[in-house]
Amino acid sequence: MNTMEINEASISRRNLLRGAAAAAVLLPFGMTLASCAAPGGGGGTTGPTGEVTATNPFGVAADSKVDAVIFNGGYGVDYVENAAKIMEKTQDGVTVKVSPSTKIAQELQPRFVGGNPPDLIDNSGANSIGFNTILDQLEDLTEVLDANNLEGEKIRDTLFGGVEAPGTFGDKFAALNYVMTVYGLWYSSSLFEKNGWDVPTSWEDLKDLGAKAKEQGKYLFLWGKEAATYYQTFVLDSAIIQGGDSVRLPIENLEEGCWSNPDIQGVLNIFHELIQAGYVKPGGAGTQFTEAQAQWSNDQEALLYPSGSWIENEMKSQTADGFAMKGLAELPLNANQTTPAGTLRAEAGEPFIVPSNSKNPAGGKELLRVMLSKESATAFSKEKLAPTIVKGTVPADGFGSTALVSQSELLDAAGTNVFTIKSTNLYGMNSDQLPIWNSFLDGKMDVATLTKQLQDLVDRIRNDDSITKIEIK
C-alpha cells in the first residue's frame, strides 16, 4: 500500500455530537444553499478592510466586529473565547462575539440563504451543514496557512503533515480542522496489568481476551445507541489496516460490492462470533451513549472501547480513580496485514470555515490565526487533553494524562502511515447506518444482512444522480 495521508473529517463522535461534516439537515443533496443565496462566494471577500501589515496579514479593519458561531460540544467554546480575548488586544479596537450552538445547520442555514452568515463557524456536530451545500460560499483558507503566527513563524511550518486534506474539496481548501484526533481502542492499562491480560494485537486475539473478561464477570465491549457506528469505524479501520487501499478506496468511492471485501467480511465474522459468545454487553440500543461509556470508564464493565481521542476529556468526570487510560491502534484482522506496522487512523477534525459573504471574513481568518498560535494551541491541549494540529504543544508527560501520552506515541509510531474515511460524512450516511449497527450489536442481525443493508445504502447514494459525487483518492 502506498503511504496514505489524512484526507477527511472524522466519523463517530465527531459525526454525532462534535464532529465534522454530516448531511445537510434542511436541504436535499441535490440542492445547494448557493442556489438560493445572495450572489457571491468563493473568493468574493466582503466587509471592511484595513491596512495589511506583518501583524495584520488579512487587513482586519480597526474597530470592526467579528461574529463567530462555535459548536458547543465536547470541547466547549471557551478556547475560542480565549483566542478572541487575545485578538481584541492585538487588533486595534476589534471586538469579537463568540456564540455557542448545538444546531449549526438549523441556526445558520437561514443566515447563509439571507447572505448574512457569521465570520467564523465551527461546522461540527450531527447538525452541521453538509459541505456540498455551501462549498462555493466559503473562503479558500490557504492564505491562513501561509501567514505567520503570533510568534512570527509561518503557520504551515508549525502544523502536522496532512492537515489540509480533511478540509480540501476538489481543489479548494475550505475548512481548517483544528483538533488532531487519533482513532483507536481505549483501555485501562492498570486493569490489564492487575489481571495479567495481554493487550490484543489483532482481531484473532479478541476471542481469547473475551473469554478471560467473561471469567471476571466483564464484557469485551459495550455501546450506546447514538454511538453504535463507532463500531463501523472500528471495523472499517481494522480492515483498511489489514488490506490498505484495496479496502479503503472502494468504500470511499461507493463501489458495487465494497462491503463484501474479504478483509471487511473477515472482521465482521469474528465480531459476530464475539457477539454471539456474549462478549458484548447487550442492551446498548436502549442506552444513552455517555451512560454506556461510563459503564466502561467508571464501572469498568468492559475492557475495550473504540473511540476517538476526545474520549478522555468527554468522560473525565466519569472515570474511575487509577484508570490509567491508554489507546492502541485499531487492530488488523491477523498478522498478515499489508500496511506498515503502526498504521493508524488519525485526522484533523473540528472544521472551521469562513463564509465569503460574511460581514468581516478578514476578521474570521484573523481569529483562526490567533487560534493557531503556540500560546492558544498549548492552552487548548492542556485544558482539553487533546492535541491540536499545531506541533510541539504537548509535553512528554502529556500534562499528566496517560491517554494524551499514548496519543503522541501512536502518532509518532505511525509517522506518515495514517489514513481516514471521508465518504460517510461527505454523503451524510451516519444517521442511516446507526439503526443497522444497533441491530447488529444487539445480536439481532447476521453478517449477511448487515452487509446487504450497508451496501444498499451505498448503492442508493451512488445511483442518485441528484447527489454530486466526489472521487476520493
| Tens digits of residue pLDDT in 389-404 | 998 899 999 999 999 9
Average pLDDT over residues 372-399: 93
Cβ-based neighbour number of residue 62 at 10 Å: 12
42: pLDDT strictly greater than 60? no
Query: For residue 46, what pLDDT band results from cuts at 50, 70 and 90?
Result: low
Amino acid identity of residue 109, one-letter, is: Q
pLDDT at 139: 97
More confident residue, 128 or 337: 337
For the chain, the average pLDDT equals 89
pTM of the model: 0.78
Amino acid identity of residue 264, one-letter, is: I
pLDDT at 12: 34
pLDDT at 41: 37
* CA 208 – CA 247 distance, rounded (Å): 27
List the one residue out of 410, 311, 386 whose CA is nearest residue 13: 311
More confident residue, 393 or 20: 393
Average pLDDT over residues 219-226: 97
pLDDT at 45: 54
For 49-92, how does the pLDDT look when each residue is reduced to its tens digit (9 = 90+)?
Answer: 899 999 999 999 999 999 999 999 878 999 999 999 999 999 99
* CA 214 – CA 211 distance, rounded (Å): 5
Average pLDDT over residues 17-23: 33
pLDDT at 17: 32
More confident residue, 356 or 314: 356
pLDDT at 373: 98
Query: For residue 7, what pLDDT band results from cuts at 50, 70 and 90?
Result: very low
pLDDT at 4: 39
> Rg of the Cα trace of the chain?
22
22: pLDDT strictly greater than 60? no
> What domains lie within the chain, and their CATH numbers?
12-181+347-407 (3.40.190.10), 182-344+425-462 (3.40.190.10)
- Taking the CA atoms of residue 24, residue 26, residue 29 and residue 35 in that order, the dihedral angle to the nearest 10 degrees is -110
For 143-201, how does the pLDDT look when each residue is reduced to its tens digit (9 = 90+)?
Answer: 999 999 999 999 999 998 778 888 888 889 999 999 998 999 999 999 999 999 999 99
pLDDT at 40: 37
Cβ-based neighbour number of residue 299 at 10 Å: 12
For 321-360, how does the pLDDT look when each residue is reduced to its tens digit (9 = 90+)?
Answer: 999 999 999 999 999 999 999 999 998 889 999 999 999 9
* Residue whose entry in the numeric block shows the C-alpha cell 448487515: 450
Strand segments, DSSP code E, in 310-454 are 325-329, 344-353, 418-419
Average pLDDT over residues 375-393: 93
What are the grid coordinates assigned to 5, written together? Answer: 495521508
For 233-280, how does the pLDDT look when each residue is reduced to its tens digit (9 = 90+)?
Answer: 999 999 999 999 999 999 999 999 999 999 999 999 999 999 999 999
**Residue 463 β-bridge partners:** none
DSSP percent split of the chain into helix, strand, coil, nearest 5: 45, 15, 45
pLDDT at 471: 87
